[in-house]
Amino acid sequence: MSIRLGDIAPNFQAQTTQGEIDFYEFLGDSWGILFSHPADYTPVCTTELGKTALLKDEFAKRNVKVLAVSVDPLDKHKGWINDINETQNCEVTFPIIADEDRKVAGLYDMIHPNASETFTVRSLFVIGPDKKVKLTITYPASTGRNFFEVLRVVDSLQLTANYSVATPADWKDGEDVIVTAAVKTEDIPARFPKGHKIIKPYLRTTPQPNK
């Protein structure tokens, strides 16, 4: 099963390092990030889970709950967390799913046979409060994820969900945004009173409206 943008994220029940969870209940009205790891006690994953733990306050500020998944069993997860906390100077407080039967991996198409028959690829899904998939990113096992980019994307998704704007290349929170084509030029002053620039008829920018 392939997960595409706009699809409803599949719900599931799973054992985690923080007990059994129902994915939808875990998310509640929050945004969610579900991300997979090939296996426990792997070096790149250790740094990724550490970085996620260190960014706990940034995720909380954006009303985002994070949930990791690996095909290894619960006891290995708990031992690995000790290593992560020690080596990355952090405290992992988010749950890690023990997906031994590969149920979650199957629901989210996390096993790519041409990469590995058994281990999950490094997939990441951003899920909105409406339980729809807003972003998918898949990295190879050799390349660690950039979690500042994940936060940047969440900022963009949350902004564009509430305003008729899009974010340009390399945009960061607080910078100018693009007025979407759905807004007529003559309607921009009323919709975006902070001002706007017309670079081309199809390229109109305005200061970020929620700042």
User: 182-194 pLDDT, tens per residue?
Assistant: 999 999 999 999 9
DSSP string, 87-135: HHT----S-EEE-TT-HHHHHTT---TTT-SSSPPEEEEEE-TTSBEEE
Are the CB atoms for 110 and 141 separated by under 8 Å? no
CB neighbours of residue 199 within 10 Å: 10
pLDDT in tens, 73-83: 889 999 999 99
Q: Return the percentage of the chain with pLDDT > 70, whole number.
A: 94
The least confident of 80-84, 119-123, 137-141 is 119-123
pLDDT of residue 116: 46
pLDDT of residue 30: 98
- CATH H superfamily, domain 163-206: Antioxidant, Horf6; Chain A, domain2 (3.30.1020.10)
pLDDT in tens, 82-113: 999 999 999 999 999 998 888 898 889 876 44
CA trace torsion 187, 190, 192, 197 (10° rounding): 50
Residue 127 vs residue 110, higher pLDDT: 127
This prediction's pTM: 0.91
Active site residues: 45
Distance between CA atoms of residues 28 and 15, nearest Å? 18
Average pLDDT over residues 106-124: 64
Specify the long-range contacts of residues 53-62, CB closer than 8 Å, at least 24 apart: 53/84, 53/85, 53/88, 53/90, 53/91, 53/92, 53/93, 53/94, 54/88, 54/89, 54/90, 55/147, 55/151, 56/93, 56/94, 58/151, 59/33, 59/151, 62/31, 62/151, 62/154, 62/155, 62/158
pLDDT of residue 113: 45
pLDDT of residue 55: 98
pLDDT of residue 117: 43
Q: Phi, psi at residue 197, to the nearest 5°?
A: -125, 140
pLDDT of residue 105: 86
CATH topology for 13-144 is Glutaredoxin (3.40.30)
User: Are 13-144 and 163-206 equal in CATH topology?
Assistant: no
Query: So where are the chain's domains?
Result: 13-144, 163-206
Are the CB atoms for 104 and 110 separated by under 8 Å? yes
